[in-house]
């Protein structure tokens, strides 16, 4: 999927249908004098319903769909005939979609399961026909209820990527390269910062035809939680990951310091992120000889409060062990 096709934020206006009005009809038929009230009920207005679809990975199909309107309910008629219900409008969304009220910014609900349906705008109820109001005192009511008006609101759809493993790191840490090596994804790779502008997803194939999903999140910089760089906008995608895989290049000035900065940015954005399982990967380790690896390991064993591993995506070093470790973490 290209960067331009990844859409994770959409605003739209939704409108349900009016309920049909009840009928105030009086029965008229040859040889039946004063047949009495027989007005039917109005039909229900159509709902606007969001439905989870696991085959969707982005909100691009809704990018230019700014208005969604359901059908109006039909009016009741004679013979106690109920009007037809208005047509419901279904909006398919990917799993992990958060729905907000745009005016109050409150979260209405989240779609997380295949086929899950939630009403975002409820259709108006149909009015009752005049036959409901017949009694011993008022035997010929000539009135009926109007239908309940439609409901409309402005909503915001936010996609939080559902992935088993999320790659976290500074720009140029090797996240996109690792994703391209472990999966069939083709993220953009270049030697400048912020090459990745949108999250990329890939499926990592494991033994016995098993697999798990890995997400490459755009690089985080110090101050991302305050909106610097691209990190703040995409930090929400990390919330849905089961495991956070921190990538720190072997040529970093201070591996422990970089890890602590990344950890602090996640804490400032959402402290609950630190409850997730974490694992540190020292990437680009093909640049290190055994002596340097030993020195770095001594420092990490002492100061790093997380398990770690040396890998090289380009030289294909340590990748099988990494997949084994991640699979074990996901299934423990």
Pairing of strands 67-69, 200-205: unpaired
Contacts of 98 (CB under 8 A, 6+ apart): 107, 110, 157, 158, 159, 160
Look at the block and give the residue holding tokens 């989240």. Answer: 110
Neighbours of 41 (CB within 10 A): 28
CA 270/CA 264 separation, integer angstroms: 10
CA 129/CA 143 separation, integer angstroms: 8
Cα Rg for the chain, rounded, in angstroms? 29
Phi, psi of 51 (to 5 degrees): -130, 130
- Contact in structure between 52 and 95 (CB atoms under 8 Å): yes
CA 96/CA 119 separation, integer angstroms: 16
Which residues make up each annotated binding site? 169-176, 194-198, 216-219, 283-286, 312-314
Which residues make up each annotated binding site for GTP? 169-176, 194-198, 216-219, 283-286, 312-314
CA 75/CA 80 separation, integer angstroms: 11
Angle 175-181-185 from CA coordinates, rounded to 5°: 80
CA 323/CA 328 separation, integer angstroms: 8
- Contact in structure between 23 and 33 (CB atoms under 8 Å): no
List the beta bridge partners of residue 67.
Answer: 13
Contacts of 264 (CB under 8 A, 6+ apart): none
CA 60/CA 97 separation, integer angstroms: 13
Phi, psi of 225 (to 5 degrees): -65, -20
């Amino acid at each position: 999927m290209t960067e331009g096709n990844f859409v994770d934020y959409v605003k739209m206006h939704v409108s349900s249908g009016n309920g049909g009005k009840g009928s105030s009809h009086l029965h008229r038929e040859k040889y039946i004098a004063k047949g009495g009230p027989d007005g039917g009920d109005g039909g229900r207005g159509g709902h606007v319903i969001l439905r989870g679809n696991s085959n969707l990975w982005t909100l691009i199909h809704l990018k230019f769909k700014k208005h969604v309107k359901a059908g109006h309910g039909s009016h009741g008629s004679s013979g106690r005939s109920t009007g037809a219900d208005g047509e419901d409008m279904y909006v398919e969304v990917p799993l992990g979609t958060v729905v907000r009220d745009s005016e109050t910014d409150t979260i209405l609900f989240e779609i997380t399961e295949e086929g899950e349906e939630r009403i975002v705008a409820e259709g108006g109820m149909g009015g009752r026909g005049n036959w409901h109001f017949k009694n011993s005192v008022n035997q010929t009511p000539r009135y009926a209820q109007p239908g309940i008006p439609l409901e409309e609101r402005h909503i915001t759809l936010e996609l939080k990527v559902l992935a088993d493993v999320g790659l976290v790191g500074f720009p140029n840490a090797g996240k996109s390269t690792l994703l391209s090596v472990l999966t069939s994804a083709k993220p953009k790779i270049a030697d400048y910062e912020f090459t990745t502008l949108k999250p990329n997803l890939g499926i990592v194939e494991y033994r016995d035809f098993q697999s798990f999903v890995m997400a490459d999140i755009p690089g985080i910089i110090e101050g991302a939680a305050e909106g610097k760089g691209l990190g703040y906008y995409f930090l929400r995608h990390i919330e849905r990951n089961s495991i956070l895989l921190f990538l720190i290049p072997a040529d970093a000035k201070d591996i422990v310091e970089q890890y602590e900065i990344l950890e602090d940015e996640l804490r400032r954005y959402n402290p609950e992120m630190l409850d997730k399982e974490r694992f540190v990967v020292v990437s680009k380790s093909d640049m290190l000889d055994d002596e340097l690896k030993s020195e770095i390991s001594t420092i990490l064993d002492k100061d790093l409060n997380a398990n770690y591993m040396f890998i090289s995506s380009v030289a294909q070093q340590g990748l099988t062990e990494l997949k084994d470790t991640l699979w074990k973490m996901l299934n423990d």
